[in-house]
Amino acid sequence: MSVYNQSRKNIILLIFIVVLTLIGFRLFFLQVVEKKYRLLATEQAVQRKIVYPTRGIIYDRNGKAVVNNDALYDLTVVPAEVKSMDTAYFCELLGIDTADFARRMHRAIVRNGRVRPTVFAPLLSQEIYGRLQENIYQFPGFDLVERPVRNYPYHCGGTIWGLISEADSNIIRRSNYFYHAGDFVGITGLERTYEPILMGQRGIHYVVRDVHNRVMGSYENGKYDTAAISGKSLRLALDIDLQVLGEKLMQNKVGSIVAIDPQTGGILAMVSSPGFDPNTLTGSDRGSNYVKMLRDPRKPLFNRAIQAMYPPGSTFKPLDALVALDEGVITPSFGINCVGYYYGCGRVLHCTEHWAGHSKDLETAIAWSCNSYFFDVFRKIIDHTHDVVQGLSRWKQYMNNFGLGHRLGIDIPGESTGYIPDTTHYDKIFGEGHWNSCTIVSCGIGQGEVLETPLQMANGVCLIANHGYYYTPHFVNTIDGDTSLLAPFHQKHVATHIPESMFQTVIAGMAQVVEHGTGAAVRIPGIEMCGKTGTAQNPHGKDHSLFEAFAPRNNPRIAIAVVVENAGFGATYAAPIASLMIEKYLNDSIAAGPRTALMQRMEQASILPQYMVEEMKAQKAAADSTTEKKTALDERKRQPARVFAVNKRP
């Protein structure tokens, strides 16, 4: 072989060696050093799944779970990963049409982009979940994610526990993107107030899928997974058995019950009627049921216990009595001669009692709820300084100290302030210097411009039961592992320094209400109860029935306020309901015989305001008309098409 040929052979061999070496180095770089392509390959096989934490459980005072968790599933989608699939079959499994499919895909892209998972169908029913679970591998980009949802075993307390809703764009933005699309967040009630406590912490689970999109197991045996952390549980002051009884007693009625432990401020029961079963606002029908409640003329989502404001009527008189005693304008023995009318303001003001002696002193006037007596007492409070502006201001300051005219700070949102009028209010209405104690005398019996929420009424009873102090009303007694949020509820509010003897006089009058006064029909055998009936005038119909009480008289364990709208005298419905609630809480049962019969009568009574009945009838008629039109339209669609002959001209 020539030297020339030998040299050419070596050159070619060298070229091959160099090329192979370069290829080897490149393969080593791509497979060992460079991580980009490895990550891309991994992303095709490994899927990141959010693990939603279990929300904290809510227990009552006796350790019964009143808000628990069930497991449902969301169907999520990553639009960028949706590839060729049988859309018609997918829609058949899900129970939607192709137009709805397109709308949901568009909404998912708008809400969360193409590469992030978004809820496509929330909280699937067990039937739909079962169908999808067997076929989900056929639909790339779609996944089933377990979602803990709330369960309410006692079917009550909806306005207390509150609602949970999917985080919308506003919530996500306000949270500085702490929440993601698909997260659920408390929006009312305890769920909202204690959301940071109840929500827990999300976890991440990585799974490996094959080329057919089927799950093959955990990635790296779960090495990179993070566990979800369950939310902390709440333990309430509320007695769920008392709550259930209260909702039964208030069914088919409009109003509220608020029961508080005066020694702690813990709320034992809070009933707003009409109410709703909170289970109807979980699961796949949640949205449609919520819309129905919004349109319901009975307003079941409106928490009357903290949001409705009523004239307190005669339940206001014990507070006026305390002010009058402390201001020194009356003594416990002060009395007037009332025979059914009050003439002190140049016009006839009526009293419900006509017999002589029902207003001989303060205790008797409270027991028989003498209007004339408290008209006179209120005027003395306002006029004794000889300056009506100063007198009203002093009276208002007392009422503000008693917890009226402002929010008390309960641990659920939406509380109303109530209203205690001031001099500015009357100057605006009558003109400065053109009003006096006779102009506003109806405030002395809890009418006129005075408004209270049922919560404020119950808290006022706590103040009397405690002889001058109260704790901020609250539901939560303890939080598992965290008590820092509850410190404000353990602080005593000394509302007034009115002497002990003055409270004893008022309490003695409230005891007489139940012993032989306006509330004598609701005595509880073996329990000394102090109460006050009230009948509040209502410009929209029949008077409201009110009653407030505490028991036992010494070392009281429960204070309660009941409002039944359009039910007439306080002793007719509100007082019996309150007495049954007190008996249930203190004795753990209702005595057989007359007391059980009373409970059944209260449960069966139906008292809905006329305006509400008319609205419900009108709504039902409109719904029936819509149903008839839809039925007729569907029937026409099912009829065969008619063929019309066309006459042609010759």
**Percent of the chain at pLDDT above 90?**
55
Superfamily of domain 47-236: Penicillin-binding protein 2a (Domain 2) (3.90.1310.10)
The answer, yes or no, to whether residue 79 has pLDDT greater than 70, is yes
Please name which of 276, 263, 339, 341 lies closest in space to residue 304, comparing C-alpha atoms: 276
Selected residue with higher pLDDT from 214 and 524: 524
137-141, 295-299, 337-341, 621-625: least confidently modelled range: 621-625
Average pLDDT estimate for 76-98: 88
Whether residue 245 has pLDDT greater than 90: yes
- Spell out the residues 6+ positions from residue 377 whose beta carbon is closer than 8 angstroms to its own: 320, 321, 324, 329, 330, 444
pLDDT of res. 183: 78
Q: What percent of the chain has pLDDT over 70?
A: 88
- The answer on pLDDT for 259 being more than 80 is yes
| C-beta of residue 407 within 8 angstroms of C-beta of residue 472 | no
Residue 131's pLDDT band, with cuts at 50, 70 and 90, is confident
- Confidence band for 5, pLDDT divided at 50, 70 and 90: low
The answer, as to whether pTM is greater than 0.85, is no
Question: Domain 240-294+305-604 carries which CATH code?
Answer: 3.40.710.10
> Is the confidence at residue 321, as pLDDT, over 90?
yes
Per-residue pLDDT at 180: 76
Q: Break the chain into its structural domains and give their ranges.
A: 47-236, 240-294+305-604, 608-637
- Beta strands 530-536; 544-551: pairing state: antiparallel
Query: Residue 344: is its pLDDT beyond 70?
Result: yes
251 φ, ψ to 5°? -65, 145
Pairing of strands 58-59, 234-236: parallel
pLDDT on residue 112: 78
On the question of pLDDT at 461 being above 90, the answer is yes
Alpha carbon dihedral 391, 397, 399, 401, in 10-degree steps, equals -150
- The arithmetic mean of pLDDT across residues 246-270, rounded, is 97
- Is residue 559 predicted with pLDDT exceeding 90? yes
Average pLDDT on 551-562 reads: 97
Q: Which of 221, 199, 217, 200 is nearest to 209 (CA)?
A: 217
Q: What's the pLDDT band for 141 if we cut at 50, 70, 90?
A: confident
How many angstroms separate the CA atoms of 358 and 517, rounded? 10
Which tens digit of pLDDT belongs to each residue from 179-229? 777 778 899 999 999 999 998 888 887 777 665 556 666 766 667 778 888
The most confident of the ranges 46-50, 280-284, 327-331 is 327-331
pLDDT greater than 50 at residue 39: no
Cα 524 to Cα 403: distance, rounded to the nearest angstrom = 29
Cis status of the peptide bond prior to 525, with omega within 30 of 0:
no
Cα(173)–Cα(474) distance, rounded to whole angstroms? 30
Instruction: From residue 105, give the alpha-carbon distance in Å to each of 112, 244, 637.
Output: 11, 43, 30
Which range is least confidently modeled, 249-258, 451-460, 530-539, 637-646?
Answer: 637-646
Query: Is the distance from CB of 564 to CB of 592 less than 8 angstroms?
Result: no
pLDDT at 40: 41
**Tens digits of per-residue pLDDT, 486-515?**
888 989 999 889 999 999 999 999 999 999
Amino acid type, 333: S
Of 144-158, 248-262, 552-566, the one with minimum mean pLDDT is: 144-158
pLDDT, tens digit, 9 for 90 and up, residues 423-435: 999 999 999 999 9
| Least confident residue range of 129-133, 395-399, 572-576 | 129-133
Q: What is the mean pLDDT of residues 1-30?
A: 70
Q: Tell me, what's the pLDDT at 628? A: 64
pLDDT at position 440, please?
A: 95
The edge-to-edge listing of strands for the beta sheet with 544-551 is 267-273, 255-260, 558-564, 544-551, 530-536
Instruction: List, in order, residues 6 or more apart from 61 with CB less than 8 Å away.
Output: 235, 236, 237, 238, 239, 266, 268, 477
- With bands split at pLDDT 50, 70 and 90, how would you rate the model's confidence at 548? very high
Which pLDDT value is given to residue 647? 39
- How far from the centroid of its chain's Cα atoms is residue 460's Cα? 22
- Residue pLDDT, tens place only, 473-494: 999 999 987 767 788 898 999 9
Q: How would residue 644 be classed by pLDDT, with cut points 50, 70 and 90? A: very low
Mean confidence (pLDDT) of the chain: 87
Would you tell me how many other CB atoms lie within 10 Å of the CB of residue 492? 11
